[in-house]
Amino acid sequence: MPSGIKIDGIDKIIIKRLVENARTPILSIAREAGISGAAIHQRLRKLEDSQLMAGSRLILNPKALGYTTTAFVGIFLDSASLYSSAIKKLKGIPEVVECHYTTGDWSIFIKILCKNNEDLMYLLNHDIQRIKGVSRTETFISLDQQISRQIKI
C-alpha cells in the first residue's frame, strides 16, 4: 500500500462501495459498515491523504457523444530525446485520452477516441505523424471493449 497505509474491513467496505458507484451516499456506507457518517468522512480523508484514492470522477460514454472509433497507436520516435516535446504536442490533441511511455518497439503508446475511421485517419496523418520526431505509427482499432475495471483490493 502507498505510504505503508493499513486498510481494514471498514476501509474495504468504503472503497468497494465507492468503486461500484462514487455517488453512493455516505450514510448508506456508514449503515453498512456500522459506524457514523463522520467516521466514514475521516476514513475517506485518511485514504485520500495516503494517495490510495486518487479522487472520483464522472465517466462519460464516448459512444453517446458520437465517438465510435477507439484506437491504440504505437508511436516510434527518431530519438528518445524527443519524448518530452512529443508528449507536449500529444497533450494538445483532445482525442488522445491516454498516453504511456513504454518499453519495447514503441516509445509512446496512446489511446485515442474518434468520431469515425475517417477522423482517425485525419488525426493520424495531420496531427500525430506531423509531430517533430515521430518516425512512424502503428495503429490498432478496437472492435469492442470486453473488460473495464479497476484493480481490486
pLDDT digits (tens, 9 = 90+) for 80-107: 899 999 999 999 999 999 999 999 999 9
Q: What is the pLDDT of residue 56?
A: 81
Q: Measured on CA atoms in the order 21, 22, 23, 26, is the torsion positive or negative? A: positive
Q: What is the pLDDT of residue 54?
A: 84
Exposed e or buried b per residue across 141-153, where buried means at least 16 C-beta atoms within 10 angstroms of its C-beta:
eeeeeeeeeeeee
Q: What is the pLDDT of residue 1?
A: 47
Q: Does pLDDT of 137 surpass 80? A: yes
C-alpha span between 111 and 70 (Å, rounded): 7
Q: What domains are defined for the chain?
A: 2-49 (1.10.10.10), 62-142 (3.30.70.920)
